[in-house]
Structure 1
């Protein structure tokens, strides 16, 4: 071989080695992008929330994999051993065939205590380059880079197990990270079951036939000229430019703004993307967002047209104008409008036209017989009518129901404004639609709340709860969870008379910025004696980036820096008609009271649970009120007490 040829060969080999070295370096320097996934129990986990961890261990899970099941005890031991040193251990399941219920069952069977993240769309596993179950990734939160990929240790292989491991790959890496040592990337071949990633062929997905119609149906209500979103999906060029950002907000579940657990309940106003839609959209974006052939459907979308989509209303009210600042956080506003009608009416539908759609985040509307003396979120639901949000501009009451609004009093509103860079004046309107004849039944609203909440300083998962007992058979139409900056997750659970329980709404990744009413596709019928429990978990730690002050014990209050446990429920009594009302306002009021003072939820308010002011007013009458002499007051005894007081105070 000539010297020049030899030189070229050596040069080529050197270039190849450099290229391979660069590939390894690039692989070792892989930065893990943020994501949010639900675990086998429906709890949400955000990767970057763990930024204070000393290390994050991500174990690839798969049902039926011998490598995973044989290491179950070792995974638990690793998590327990390093927890005190700030190591967060998680698992991730990207298998097409594994549903969450199956993952939960197998985790229970093998005693796995580690959260298993359900990557049902495979978009996270695909981005991580996962290949086999049983592989372990160690991530350094200082730079979110993978510093190790491989098996947990060398104890388990296919159909073979050693009594003890001789190489402890993950443990060795963790000990270095915990001690603050620098760790160079290492990759070790890991045995495990091959993950079948669905072939998406993103480059072949049609923008005109698939992507644009999907965006039009799910996103354009906000992303429209004049809408609340910061940019409009007006044509392909805009979508292409924002495609990487769309991928990020979908991975972190910031968008679409729909936060109900997809495996619990069915909702008529579901604003989320399906799994298939998510896979398709992400695959198209990751293929470079190709334009392809065909007309652009988004170009045909007209700018936001503020008109009454249900037709001309029977009554139009101008909500008092409000000047929205260019920047900052605006406290909720609670304007009122005197009721101008001189007769009683039945409201069966309502719509809102926002004055400044970019500034108006949401509006809650209701009525009250008496003018409101001071701002109160509770008064909005005294006679609740409508929740407005982009994409939910109009609403009809459930079939055969309506809201009775007597003449006089006021209409009242809760206004949530979001500044967007320039001052504006909002002049929103509400349109009300009346029925000429009374509907069959009342649409009622009950608020389950707890004004006695106290969230400890720096607590990252503090739970508060309250409940309501159905005295009669009822039908639940809608649910509305509400919290402030520290709200982390929220749920409603039914406890039936036979002792069984059912979670009917779970919001595992609660977002204060999006106040959603969840309307059942099929109303939920509940028998008398059923209890509905509303729970919210709060994050008062420094890891909550929206937390105003982690050092503060947070209590109930209207302002956003305070907190609320607040769950509204739209319902009807099964046996009630508008011709023969059976609703007992005193019973509803006392049930609301019992729902939060009964801290141990035994159905009885003891002296220790009773508010001091109320206990003082009862005084020596306690034994008379406690008719069954059980040492506490049940709901019937509270109702008798309240009705006796009302009778004594009424004019003779």
Structure 2
């Protein structure tokens, strides 16, 4: 570990960062929609942040100098990023600038200007050098002295940034810690605005909290503290500022630049900026009656949708105060003597503190599927609303099927008994069509030890026209980011959902404002990036090779989705579950996305299991299977097995 001797340190609260100041953590999305958190880089020797601005000639002229510095420290563990805080620049225009000028660095887009304000930025082309050991700013200024306004030198005489990096790596003070930046001025109209001290708590702040926070932060809510008064909010104000800057709260993780969603729980840039500016102004109380005591109250009813038609109570489970609890799979017999149609469902955990998530489905009453649903119904996770199906659709609940739940408990320091209840709301009459559930999955995933960004993907092909209603990405502690995209039969690809900062603590689905038409032959592609490094603070063990498994220390590539077949009705079903299973299998075996699972693409264990499928299904001898071929091979094997059973029983 290097040792540093600093002569002095400036201590700052909310003001802009100068040399020696601690740089507050933040998270921003870059021009490609990827998330970057400053304090993630604990293993870096240094972090360099260079201020970018579209159209600035100084920035463009400085790109070769920046490239030279990057190459010099390529093997030294120095992280290089760029940041754009310009009011006039958008993610799309920054992406275009990066493509035109060959910028291959992440350009963090500071849409609210909150990060730029906090860093004290004034001009583009400025470089900031940050020491991850304490997150202190050790240099700020130009990369070198080669550039000035409307003139430039052939060669730089002073290499300020490189000299500062050398000093940081050597554990000494830089010869020059601060140099005036040369670049285009950045307009920060809200920086140090005295009007922030006049922001009304009653008329402005409390309504923002009601809209974005109080639903969870209320008595008997899932938030750790209740926003019951101004005094409570003021006491937690520094924490509120932190989670807003790092985007941990509110817990809505969809990229706002991709898709439109029902029940969008994201906070707007304007609301985020207003809250942070109010807090940085001292969280003034102002005049007027505090509205929070009447807003932040416990709900009138346990059931958001009213009293259910059917309530299933799961067996009590004793959750210990600490440790790891294996997934539990309680089953409950179906009390009904008739088939019914479900139009909505809700899950009420007995103890919200320990219930991480609940999945609910059906199994044949005579089978033991080991935690695998025959049909999935819905689930619960903190912040997720009850499941309400689209009009004229329903899920069939056969009288002979029983209920199976997957329970994930996370102890929180106190032993409790959980009794979770599931409420079902039923149709009075048979609906027009089935509401279907599917999963894009890949049980063959293998995440190498210490891998920071390991990508896995799979797809589900639709053999008939469909309407896609929602998607839900699911992974475990090592999940970093996820996307869903739709690849159409003509090859066009549309990004449907981008979750750049996946959080295992919030298992949330995303429902389209309008269902997405899916032509036959389209593929729903689900991609997840995993972080198996020590910088992932939730990682149980970075040294492990991680494979598929139910427990949180295992991993999953699991993308759930809901849909209806366009030409299906409840009187005329067309759904073939076994054919869909075949498409699902091809979707995770097909590494090159050509629509076939080639023999050479199969992992060794699967070759042994699927040898018979290839033997019977590969009709054209190309050592590959399509989904229809795999389906036909499986059907033939089932018929053969059924025939053997009949023969063994002495039948005809």
1:260 aligned residue: 254
Distance of 2:406 and 2:611 partners within structure 1: 38
Which of 413, 417, 421 is residue 425 of structure 1 equivalent to? 417
Which of 267, 285, 294 is residue 273 of structure 1 equivalent to? 267
- By how many angstroms is 1:129 displaced? 0.9
2:310 aligned residue: 315
CA contact (8 A) 1:95 1:196 kept: yes
2:73 is paired with a residue whose SS is helix
Distance of 1:125 and 1:163 partners within structure 2: 31
* Residues 621 and 405 of structure 1: CA distance in aligned 2, closer, same or farther (over 3 Å): closer
2:307 is paired with a residue whose SS is coil
- By how many angstroms is 1:304 displaced? 4.4
1:135 aligned residue: 126
Distance of 2:615 and 2:390 partners within structure 1: 45
Which of 200, 209, 212 is residue 218 of structure 1 equivalent to? 212
1:190 aligned residue: 181
1:126 aligned residue: 117
TM-score by length of 1: 0.92
Distance of 1:50 and 1:585 partners within structure 2: 46
* Residues 295 and 476 of structure 1: CA distance in aligned 2, closer, same or farther (over 3 Å): same
* Residues 147 and 153 of structure 1: CA distance in aligned 2, closer, same or farther (over 3 Å): same
1:361 is paired with a residue whose SS is strand
CA RMSD of aligned residues (A): 2.4
C-alpha offsets along residues 68-91 of structure 1, whole Å, 9 cap, x if unaligned? 111123223322331211100101
2:31 aligned residue: 40
- By how many angstroms is 1:117 displaced? 0.5
Distance of 1:574 and 1:26 partners within structure 2: 57
1:262 is paired with a residue whose SS is coil
C-alpha offsets along residues 375-433 of structure 1, whole Å, 9 cap, x if unaligned? 53x52xx4222232344342311222211111122222233334343222222211101
Which of 576, 581, 591 is residue 584 of structure 1 equivalent to? 576
Which of 154, 158, 165 is residue 145 of structure 2 equivalent to? 154
CA contact (8 A) 2:313 2:419 kept: yes
- By how many angstroms is 1:22 displaced? 9.5
CA contact (8 A) 1:29 1:185 kept: no
Distance of 1:195 and 1:325 partners within structure 2: 54
1:388 aligned residue: 380
Which of 216, 221, 228 is residue 222 of structure 2 equivalent to? 228
Structure 1 position 457 matched with structure 2 position 457 = no
CA contact (8 A) 2:440 2:458 kept: yes
CA contact (8 A) 1:76 1:113 kept: no
Distance of 2:377 and 2:215 partners within structure 1: 22
In structure 2, runs of 5+ residues without a counterpart are: 1-7, 647-651
- By how many angstroms is 1:348 displaced? 0.7
TM-score by length of 2: 0.92
Which of 77, 82, 88 is residue 86 of structure 1 equivalent to? 77
Distance of 1:239 and 1:567 partners within structure 2: 37
* Residues 387 and 622 of structure 1: CA distance in aligned 2, closer, same or farther (over 3 Å): closer
CA contact (8 A) 1:226 1:357 kept: no
Which of 346, 351, 358 is residue 353 of structure 2 equivalent to? 358
Distance of 2:265 and 2:472 partners within structure 1: 15
1:292 aligned residue: 286
C-alpha offsets along residues 120-148 of structure 1, whole Å, 9 cap, x if unaligned? 11111111111111111111111211111
1:250 is paired with a residue whose SS is helix
C-alpha offsets along residues 332-386 of structure 1, whole Å, 9 cap, x if unaligned? 333222111111111011122232233333322222234663653x52xx42222
* Residues 612 and 113 of structure 1: CA distance in aligned 2, closer, same or farther (over 3 Å): closer
* Residues 621 and 127 of structure 1: CA distance in aligned 2, closer, same or farther (over 3 Å): closer
CA contact (8 A) 1:58 1:91 kept: yes
1:9 aligned residue: none
Structure 1 position 482 matched with structure 2 position 477 = no
* Residues 435 and 295 of structure 1: CA distance in aligned 2, closer, same or farther (over 3 Å): same
In structure 1, runs of 5+ residues without a counterpart are: 1-18
* Residues 21 and 550 of structure 1: CA distance in aligned 2, closer, same or farther (over 3 Å): closer
Distance of 1:365 and 1:198 partners within structure 2: 51
1:281 is paired with a residue whose SS is helix
- By how many angstroms is 1:626 displaced? 2.0
